[in-house]
Amino acid sequence: MLFNSIHFILFLPVVVIIYFSLPYRYRWVLLLIASYYFYMAWRPEYVFLIVFSTLVDYFVAIKMSKVDDKQKRKKYLIMSLVINLGLLFLFKYFNFFSDSTRLLLNNFNIFYNLPSFKLLLPVGISFYTFQTLSYTIDVCKGKRKPEKHLGIFALYVSFFPQLVAGPIERSTSLLPQFYKKYDFDYDRVASGLCQMLWGFFKKIVIADNIANLVNLVFSSPENFQGIHFIIATILFAFQIYCDFSGYSDIAIGTARIMGFELMRNFNRPYFAKSISDFWNRWHISLSTWFRDYLYIPLGGNRVNKFRMYLNLMITFVISGLWHGANWTFVVWGFLHGLYLIFEKLIKNVADSIELKFGRGKFLRIYSLFQTFYIFVLVCFAWIFFRADFLSDALYIVSHLFDGVLHFIVNFWNINEIKLILSKFNITPLLFVEIWISILFLLIIQALRGEKDLFIFLRDKKMLFRWSFYYLLIFWILFFGYFGEQPFIYFQF
């Protein structure tokens, strides 16, 4: 079930009304049924994977709690890791590694003919697998006690607002909330609806309108040249941000209506002034998951510099692979690993520049340069993330500046602009509307800073607040794309 569908628009009010009508002790039952129904709206049979994973980790955690010996506890943890990651590998990575191995061995004239599995990737398997694994790891380390209520634990694994694309919640945060009693609260519901409205704006108005243009360029790069690649790459940066953060906003808003608080998953990532700052702002639930459950166990920054850089690279390459079974994602993760290593190598130089400029206008100029520079680096890496094949990405990179000088010289030539837009198969009005929407998004983010959008608006006059709400509604209705574009991260 897509958030941007009539199905969900009808589903959510029914669930919320019944939820607040039920006695507290029965609400978890409703939410569990609603969550399984929400997931089964895609492919009913794959709900058995969630049920199986839930049962495995529930009983593994119970068993670990009864064992004092750390080595025996680790055996149960390994069982959970093997089963959960084994399912993830089978459905998501087996064909990728099998095909890569076949290609490698063929170069050495070694016969390899292991058959491929024609399995449809279960929606959200990477998200709920990581969520339940964090629970078993925390129980093994003694950070939390095992959840004894099977139904509540099943709800933690399958909670419908964040089931298929996060945020990836920690058991220490989400599980206790299922035991709290939430009454209907107007301000909380209004805050949730505001968050959802902002998410729908980002998804339907910005991301979905951009999608067709980006898909056209990246599906057949040989038909385009440099300026098209640059525009499509910049637009993809906003498409993937608005698509994924839009999902997170709708998920957070949906949960908040019923009283639950999910973690913030995005924090104005394109305002970042360094790559490390970018990863503190982008897909926060995943980046902190890899930090806590992979980077730190590998040694983190408590080891020598070479080992620290190696830990960073391992973490980001695996993070890239988490996103998809394709070498393009591996290269994307590798690039971000390189960015971070380079950033750490020149940290002393960057610090000295800031110290030299002080806090005057030169520092503000330098700060703007940092933001622009990081955005360029992130956009370059997005080329590999978005490309269907590594060969396509390399073609785009090698032709990235073809014809750009000609475009700059003829920028004010209206016929030149029309020619470029004709290649995009997009009307000038829609093209302008997309950029106005992006500009509006950035202005609002700059104005509200770190504040939650509802809190930011609540501090304004009523006329401004309601004008903003109606502006978003009309913008969605008149300029939104209603073709039910799937969310990008559903494929991960």
| Catalytic pick among 323, 336, 399, 406 | 323
- Do 19 and 31 touch, CB atoms closer than 8 A? yes
Contacts 24+ apart (CB under 8 A), 359-366: none
Closest among 85, 113, 119, 82 to 99, alpha carbons compared: 113
Give the Cα separation of 485 and 334 in Å (integer): 29
SS (H, E, C) 325-364: CCHHHHHHHHHHHHHHHHHHHCHHHHHHHHHHHCCCHHHH
Rg of the chain taking only CA atoms, in angstroms:
24
- Do 148 and 112 touch, CB atoms closer than 8 A? no
- Answer yes or no: 406 catalytic: no
Give the Cα separation of 193 and 195 in Å (integer): 5
* Rounded (10°) angle between helices 347-357 and 361-386: 150
- Do 490 and 38 touch, CB atoms closer than 8 A? no
What tokens appear for 407 in the block?
Answer: 């475009």
Q: How far is CA 224 from CA 218, 402, 429, 480, in A?
A: 9, 10, 21, 27
Closest among 303, 305, 302, 340 to 320, alpha carbons compared: 340
Amino acid at 398: S
∠ at Cα 39 (34, 41), nearest 5°? 95
Question: What does the longest C-alpha to C-alpha distance in the chain come to?
Answer: 76
∠ at Cα 29 (28, 34), nearest 5°? 95
Q: How far is CA 284 from CA 268, 341, 357, 456, in A?
A: 11, 20, 31, 21
What tokens appear for 99 in the block?
Answer: 């095909």
Strands (E), 375-427: none
The answer to whether the Cα torsion of 359, 365, 366, 369 is positive or negative is: positive
Give the Cα separation of 251 and 254 in Å (integer): 5
Catalytic residue IDs? 323
